[in-house]
């Protein structure tokens, strides 16, 4: 573990232990470095890293503060982290989506409102009329986002929002290159919607899992990723 990693762990440990709470200002750099047994340069690198992932807020001329640690604020940083992944990890992203979206669909079937059902129906009805693959994928993203919101769990919804962006290119690629992909997607969306409308959690989970597993299978075949 690098010296900077040690510094990050020690600051994080102070937060977890409650020594530093949301909104607290960090001690002076020299004092904190001495307390943690670190060089000031290592401490600065740790603060910079923790500010990138929204745990610390560096305010010029004022000091460094612990953020609110609100989940939605912290999860915004996932978009930055996910973008750093190599293309070869796309299957891992899709796998994560499958696990999370399956659970989101299960929860949505238990919690979805009539208004949210109507929103999903409108998106589903609009899918066959999309003029381009890009327009179709935009509709697909909106459909999945609406289900995540209907799950009633904002953390799951935020995670899925962060994971969705890096898969857009693959979804467009599939729509262009795989025969029948659009018709199959519409059919699978219809099955997911029917399960949600009927408030059948296990069926919604199963259909969402099948839907996303088919995308994984296609990508593995198309790119020969082992």
Query: With 60 as the cut, is the pLDDT of residue 76 above it?
Result: no
Which residues, in sequence order, are CB contacts of 113 under 8 Å at separation 6+? 150
Q: What residues does 64 pair with on adjacent strands?
A: 58
Residues 120 and 49 in one domain: no
Query: With 60 as the cut, is the pLDDT of residue 195 above it?
Result: yes
- pLDDT of 92: 78
- pLDDT of 164: 76
| Cα angle: 138, vertex 144, 145; to 5 degrees | 85
More confident residue, 77 or 60: 60
Residues 87 and 188 in one domain: yes
At what angle are helices 201-223 and 181-197 packed, to 10 degrees? 160
Residues 219 and 172 in one domain: yes
Last residue of a domain, one of 41, 69, 97: 69
Q: How confident is the model at residue 8 (pLDDT cuts 50, 70, 90)?
A: confident
d(CA 186, CA 145) in angstroms, rounded, equals 16
State which residues form the domain around 49: 3-69
Residues 90 and 156 in one domain: yes
Mean pLDDT is lowest, of 75-84, 102-111, 165-174, 179-188, for 75-84
Query: With 60 as the cut, is the pLDDT of residue 19 above it?
Result: yes
């Amino acid at each position: 573990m690098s010296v900077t990693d040690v510094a990050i762990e020690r600051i994080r440990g102070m937060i977890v232990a409650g020594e530093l709470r949301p909104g607290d200002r960090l001690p002076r750099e020299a004092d904190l470095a001495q307390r943690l047994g670190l060089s000031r340069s290592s401490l600065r690198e740790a603060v910079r890293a923790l500010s990138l992932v929204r745990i610390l807020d560096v305010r010029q001329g004022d000091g460094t503060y612990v953020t609110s640690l609100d989940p939605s604020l912290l999860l915004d940083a996932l978009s930055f982290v996910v973008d750093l992944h190599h293309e070869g990890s796309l299957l891992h992203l899709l796998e994560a989506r499958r696990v999370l979206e399956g659970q989101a669909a299960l929860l949505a079937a238990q919690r979805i409102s009539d208004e949210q059902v109507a929103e999903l129906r409108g998106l589903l009805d609009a899918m066959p009329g999309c003029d381009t693959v890009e327009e179709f994928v935009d509709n697909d993203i909106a459909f999945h986002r609406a289900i995540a919101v209907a799950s009633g769990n904002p953390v799951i919804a935020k995670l899925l929002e962060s994971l969705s962006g890096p898969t857009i290119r693959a979804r467009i690629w599939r729509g262009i290159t795989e025969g029948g992909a659009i018709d199959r997607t519409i059919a699978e969306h219809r099955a997911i919607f029917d399960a949600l409308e009927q408030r059948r959690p296990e069926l919604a989970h199963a259909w969402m899992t099948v839907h996303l597993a088919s995308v994984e299978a296609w990508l593995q075949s198309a790119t020969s990723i082992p």
